[in-house]
Amino acid sequence: MSTKKAGEAFASYIDKQLVPHWIGTPWDYNGITHTPGKGKIACGYFVTTVLRDAGVRINRVKMAQCASETMINSLTKNKVNYSSLSFNEFINKVKAKGKGLSIIGLDNHTGFLYNDGKELWFIHSSVAGTRAVAKEKARASSVLYYSNYRVVGFISQDAKFIKRWLK
C-alpha cells in the first residue's frame, strides 16, 4: 500500500471508527477523560487521545498541554500557516490539498480538519456551541471563522508520519 493510500486509510479510520464515539462528550477546560462519553475532555486532550487510540506514539499529557503549533511541529513538518488569508481563502486552500486528516492550531484551540474529498469538516472539543465534542462543516464553524491564527499540520499526507504510524 502506498503512503498516500495508507494516509487516507488512517484519516478515514479516525473519522469513521474513533470520532463517532466521542461526539457529544462534554467539553471542560480541565477535561482529561480517556473514555468517550464518560467524563469531560479539553480540546488538546481530545486530539492527543484520538491520535493515541489510533496507534500514534504520542505523549498524550505533554502534547495536550502545549501550544497547538508545538504539538503540530512534534508530529509533522508538513504544515502551513494560513493566518494571513481570509476565511474563504483558508477553507479553499485546505480543501485543495485533497483527502486527509490534519491538526489545526487556532488562537486558543486545537482540533482536527478532515477532508473527505467532498466536504471539509472541523472535529473538536469546544466551549462554543454544544460545549462538547462536535463534527461540523468547517465553512460553518464560528470557532474557525473568528480565529486570527490558523496553522494546519497535514499529518495524513506526511509520508514520514504515516511510515512511523505503520510501524
pLDDT digits (tens, 9 = 90+) for 69-91: 999 999 999 999 999 999 999 99
| Whole-number pLDDT of residue 80 | 98
> Is pLDDT above 90 for 1?
no
What gap in Å lies between CA 77 and CA 88, rounded to an integer?
Answer: 24
| Whole-number pLDDT of residue 54 | 97
pTM of the model: 0.96
User: Is residue 15 a contact partner of residue 9, using CB atoms and an 8 Å limit?
Assistant: no
Q: Which among 33, 6, 2 is positioned nearest to 165, based on CA atoms?
A: 6
| Whole-number pLDDT of residue 59 | 95
Average of per-residue pLDDT across 89-94: 98
Indicate the average pLDDT of the chain.
96
Residues above pLDDT 90, as percent of the chain: 96
Residues above pLDDT 70, as percent of the chain: 100
| Whole-number pLDDT of residue 103 | 98
CATH (residue range 3-166): 3.90.1720
Distances (CA, A) of 74 to 9, 48, 54, 102: 22, 12, 17, 13
Residue pointed to by grid coordinates 487516507? 8
| Whole-number pLDDT of residue 11 | 98
Domain ranges of the chain: 3-166
User: Is residue 138 a contact partner of residue 91, using CB atoms and an 8 Å limit?
Assistant: yes
> Using CA atoms in the order 88, 91, 96, 101, what is the torsion angle rounded to 10 degrees?
180
Query: What DSSP character marks residue 25?
Result: P
What gap in Å lies between CA 25 and CA 23, rounded to an integer?
Answer: 6
119-128 pLDDT, tens digit per residue, is 999 999 998 8
Confidence class for position 167, pLDDT limits 50, 70, 90 = confident
